[in-house]
């Protein structure tokens, strides 16, 4: 069984944690991925929207509670 197959056999929560830890290790190693033009356009759109509507936000506690309600606590 390959390493990838072993990883895919893990429970979803373990795979998510593994993916996060692998991503963090890439960043710590100096990996600096380039964003695509589409991603740049989306970021620009969101920034423009935020500047036009600075009060259209939700507190982190509210966002976190909604995520935990939908997906459960990590």
Q: What is the pTM of this model?
A: 0.53
Q: Return d(Cα 39, Cα 43) in angstroms, integer.
A: 6
Across the chain, mean pLDDT equals 95
The confidence score (pLDDT) of residue 36 equals 97
Among 74, 68, 65, residue whose Cα is nearest residue 20: 74
pLDDT tens-digit profile of 30-44?
A: 999 999 999 999 999
Nearest to 22 by CA among 7, 5, 34, 37: 7
pLDDT band at 72 (very low <50, low <70, confident <90, very high): confident
pLDDT score, position 39:
98
The tokens for 22 are: 């692998």
Structural contact between residues 43 and 35, judged by C-beta atoms closer than 8 angstroms: yes
């Amino acid at each position: 069984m390959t390493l990838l197959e072993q990883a895919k056999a893990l429970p979803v929560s373990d795979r998510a944690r593994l993916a996060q830890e692998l991503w963090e290790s890439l960043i710590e190693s100096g990996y600096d991925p380039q964003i695509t033009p589409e991603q740049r356009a989306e970021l620009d759109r969101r920034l423009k929207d935020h500047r036009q509507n600075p009060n259209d936000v939700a507190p982190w506690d509210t966002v976190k509670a909604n995520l935990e309600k939908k997906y459960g606590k990590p």
